[in-house]
Amino acid sequence: MTKADLILKISNETGLEKNEVSRVVESVMETIKSSLSEGENVYLRGFGSFVVRKRKEKTGRNISKKTTIIIPAHNIPAFKPAKVFLEHVKHNVKV
């Protein structure tokens, strides 16, 4: 499902205009991004958590040039689904 598909589905289910739903979805995504960039985690009960994970400094290798570089410590965004969400997906996904 793409963002456009998500917007269309929400619009159909709620009766709201697509452009209104689009603004809300964009606003939610922007708020999550800005919160994570400020080091603040976002918790959505029953859905999951968007968290900032810290990666330690490590040594990397460029095989083609046969050189070693230091990759500095940095933060990465991560998503941890809630138990309810995991159980729902686990028991309802058809393969």
Choose the CATH number for 3-92 among 2.40.10.480, 2.60.40.650, 2.120.10.30, 4.10.520.10. 4.10.520.10
How many Cα atoms are found within 13 Å in the side-chain-facing hemisphere of 47?
A: 6
pTM tops 0.85, yes or no:
no
| Domain layout of the chain by residue ranges | 3-92
Residues whose CB is less than 8 angstroms from the CB of residue 1 and which lie 6 or more positions away in sequence, other chains included: 9
Q: Tens-digit pLDDT profile for the chain (95 aa)?
A: 999 999 999 999 999 999 999 999 999 999 999 999 999 999 999 999 999 999 999 999 988 988 999 999 999 999 999 999 999 998 887 65
88: amino acid identity, one letter: H
